[in-house]
A and B are shown apart, each in its own frame.
Chain A
Amino acid sequence: MTAELGQIALILALCLTIAQAVFGLVGAARGWDNWMAVVRPATVGQAGFVVLAFLLLASAFLANDFSVQYVAMNSNSQLPTLYRVAAVWGAHEGSMLLWATILALWSCAVALLSRSLPLAFASRVLAVLGIISAGILLFILLTSNPFIRLVPAPFDGNDLNPLLQDPALAMHPPILYTGYVGFAVAFAFACAAMIEGRLDQAWARWTRPWTTVAWLFLTIGITLGSWWAYYELGWGGWWMWDPVENASFMPWLAGTALIHSLAVTEKRGLFRSWTLLLALFAFSLSLLGTFLVRSGIIVSVHAFASDPLRGVFILGLLALFILGALTLYAWRAGQLRSSAGFELWSRESFLLFNNILLVIAASLILLGTLYPLLLALMKLGTISVGPPYFQLVFLIPVIPLVTLLIVGMHAAWKRARLAPVKRRLVSIALAGVIAAVLLSLTFGGRPRTLVFVGLALAVAAMLSALSVPFDHLRRRVTIPRGVLGMSVAHFGVGLFTLGATVASAYQVERDVSLGMGQSANVAGYDFRLTDLRSVEGPNYAAREADVVITDAGGRVVTVLHPQKRVYRVQQQPMTEAGINVSWRRDLFVALGEDLGNGVWSLRLQYKPLIRYLWLGSLCMALGGLIAATDRRYRIALARERVDTDTVAERA
């Protein structure tokens, strides 16, 4: 019954989303309060049903109900419970249901936390979200139904792909989706504003916290994915510029530009056109990513099993949402002029450059990702655009970006006076250069300009970011959370740059063949293979090695236990690398092949400062969180609560 109930729940949810959309748009257009009053309950109701459907699917997994085809394809009775839950989003159908569930939850949040918004506007926002939800639910019901039965039911399931049987990767999709599906809220706010014909500073103030929260989840989601790739995929890489990774990075870049652009619109009513377009493009890029991953037109190990019918449907949804929104934009854009001014040296100026550079970065990645496809379609042959291209091309906008970040943080609105901060900036620049020299000397090797520049910028960015709260403390002024959040996030950018530059420039990787008791030396550390044994896991069997690592002074640093697992059901071999973490470096050992006669091949790596790039990203997310809880949003929230309390009292 569970599967059938799940399907019914989805159908009911679909009906409610349609109500949400229709009542919202018509009610707002006509000013019918009683119609608009339906929208919030409808939203909460559809969210309830979608969540119910999700829980029903999860319960099918937990109960090992292999009569449900999706469960049979992705689970197994030996699968540990945690991964049975994660298997819910392990393949296309379930992950689309997760997509829909997260969208429903965001819509619900908007419904419940938007009482301070004018009713017509809120109704329109929810209506747009309703249209998107309806599209996704239709897609699920018509092409990607996770509740289809498999008759006769198999005795046991196919097991979850072993790659996904990992805590970090299990959490990666929900967090990632919370991020880029969350951009739908900004999209809806933008559409509502265009429908109403009004986009002002108040609109920016409403939109900002929603966007920042979505952005910070996306940041964490991408970070998790990168960290997982590093420790699970065994070759020590953390970003492959794979089309699907790019598909999540482009919305992130657009989202970053958006939150900065919103700042200008909120403060000075400027850049409204930009902000609007960015709000539309952030979510559009998310949808584009969804399309690329599931339509089969791009080859990627990340891609879900493809089906042209699904591809066509998603393309249809994309066309409806994106072209619809852009048409609205074309209609309203002419009305968005403002007469505010700013000097060349001003915060607005810096944020303008910031916007442009981030859009360039996103556009270049989009071009590189789609170019092979476009060439192939025009029968011009097949080419590849891979990491060497992206790495090079990405630096072109990003180096100026980080440079501007260092200075821009200290620029005031409208007319910035750089004289007071000049001395500080010069000392920061100097400190950056000195730090770069010291780091280059520490790590040795050939001096490389790019590495030097990266190091200097990274340290300067961190110092520049720290100087802002430091300044506030010195002047004994309370620091608003918006400013603190900015400082923490920008500090994170510097930290990330430091980790990425050092790890890429100074890492050492060696492939060796070791017999028992033999050792190899990497970056001054001695790796010795001392033992090899068999171990049994819940759903796998493994060969485990002991590798003793001693440092240059002869002291034992650690003993690592890399494993080579074979998962019983899918008969897939998998690596579990052994990693020793410290604040200075990671030491990384992965088992390769049994070469016979007790000799194994191993990959040994030395990765200096690599943790900093994930720590930096998490700092960025933390900064976003701090900024989103700024006083002005909490006041609005509290006012809402007072209103509802008063209403409750009177009732």
Chain B
Amino acid sequence: MRTIVRAACLSLLIIATARAIDTEPPLPDPVQQERYEALIHELRCLQCRSQTLADSEVSLAADLRREVRRLIAEGKTDAEVKSFLTARYGDYVLFRPPLNERTWILWVAPGLMVLVGGLIAWRVVRHRTKLVPSDAEEIDAGDSQS
């Protein structure tokens, strides 16, 4: 079954690429339309998993886009639209992982790594700077040899 779905998605990936997916008219409010377009680029198509809702042409994606559009037109915020979808499909549907007790590592990691990296850099530089007076090696001053 899975191979069939995968094959279908692969072929749909091929068609889908050409697509002009959204044949619906844009939302009347341009701000809402912009939010809609941004959102569908951040949501995963549940059937053709490598694609966003914006790019997938399967009918499930069309239905989900329709729901997203409806919710935005009803005045829901982006967070509310996302929680509508995660209540049904889980966090998997969000390409941008949420910040919660399971995913905090993902969001803390960049800052943490930069901190650790900075620490390492500081220690190495401090160590090496101390060695300069005792390091008799003469480097050609004008040498920009890489």
Contacts and interface: CB of A to CB of B under 8 A. Distances in A.
Do A and B come into direct contact in the complex, CB within 8 Å?
yes
Contact of B90 (A339, A381, A396, A482): A381
A388 interface: yes
Contacts of B121: 352-353, 356
B113 interface: yes
Interface string A593-613: 101000001110000000000
B15 A574 contact: yes
A343 B129 contact: yes
Contact of A383 (B15, B103, B137, B145): B103
A480 B143 CA distance: 11
B102 interface: yes
B96 A388 contact: yes
Contact of A357 (B93, B117, B143): B117
24 contacts: A163-B14, A233-B13, A299-B50, A341-B134, A344-B129, A352-B124, A352-B125, A359-B117, A360-B114, A363-B113, A371-B97, A382-B91, A384-B94, A386-B95, A396-B114, A397-B110, A414-B135, A486-B146, A511-B23, A573-B18, A574-B14, A592-B20, A603-B18, A603-B21
Contact of B129 (A341, A360, A410, A486): A341
B69 interface: no
Given A341-B133, A341-B134, 15 more contacts: A233-B17, A301-B13, A342-B129, A352-B125, A367-B105, A380-B102, A383-B98, A383-B102, A384-B93, A384-B94, A388-B42, A412-B142, A511-B19, A511-B21, A574-B14
A572 B106 CA distance: 39
A386 B120 CA distance: 30
Contacts of A512: 20
Those 9 A-B pairs whose CB atoms lie nearest each other, nearest first: A386-B95, A341-B131, A575-B18, A234-B17, A601-B20, A388-B96, A592-B20, A341-B132, A511-B20
B61 to A, nearest CB: 13
B139 interface: yes
A162 interface: yes
A310 interface: no
A240 B50 contact: yes
Interface string B37-52: 0000010100011101
A349 interface: yes
Contacts of A602: 20
B10 A301 contact: yes
B35 to A, nearest CB: 15
Given A381-B90, A513-B20, A592-B20, A572 B11 contact: yes
A149 interface: no
B92 interface: yes
B59 interface: no
Interface of B: 3, 6, 9-11, 13-23, 42, 44, 48-50, 52, 55, 90-98, 102-103, 105-106, 109-111, 113-114, 117, 120-121, 124-125, 128-135, 137, 139, 141-146
Nearest to A472: B144
A590 interface: yes
B40 to A, nearest CB: 11
B91 A383 contact: yes
Contacts of A485: 146
B19 A414 contact: no
Nearest to A342: B128
A278 to B, nearest CB: 14
B92 A384 contact: yes
A577 B91 contact: no
Nearest to A344: B125
A240 B102 CA distance: 24
B20 A340 contact: no
B66 to A, nearest CB: 15
B96 to A, nearest CB: 4
Contacts of B14: 162-163, 572-575
A124 to B, nearest CB: 28
A234 to B, nearest CB: 3
B20 A341 contact: no
Interface string A324-363: 0000000000000001111110001100110011011001
Contact of A389 (B23, B93, B95, B113): B95
**Which of B17, B93, B109 has its CB near the most chain A CB atoms (within 10 A)?**
B17
Q: Say what secondary structure dominates the interface of chain A.
A: mixed
A161 B10 CA distance: 10
B65 to A, nearest CB: 11
A485 B49 CA distance: 41
Interface in A198-213: none
Nearest to A237: B55
Interface in A73-93: none
A488 to B, nearest CB: 11
Contact of A242 (B6, B50, B135): B50
Given A339-B131, A341-B130, A577 B18 contact: yes
Contact of A592 (B18, B94, B102, B106): B18
Contacts of A367: 105-106, 109
Contacts of A418: none
Contacts of A167: none
A268 B23 CA distance: 62
A612 B18 CA distance: 24
A349 B102 contact: no
Contacts of A511: 19-23
A341 B137 CA distance: 9
Given A342-B128, A348-B128, A572-B14, A593 B20 contact: yes
B135 A603 contact: no
Nearest to A359: B117
Contacts of A349: 125
A93 to B, nearest CB: 17
A591 interface: yes
Contacts of B48: 301
B146 A356 contact: no
Contact of B137 (A268, A356, A396): A268
A386 to B, nearest CB: 3
Nearest to A477: B142
B102 A393 contact: no
B120 A356 contact: yes
B16 to A, nearest CB: 8
Contacts of A242: 50
A620 interface: no
A301 B9 contact: yes
A382 B90 contact: yes
Nearest to A489: B146
A364 B117 CA distance: 13
B102 A234 contact: no
Contacts of A268: 137, 139
Contacts of B90: 381-383
Contact of A364 (B18, B113, B144): B113
Contacts of B42: 386, 388
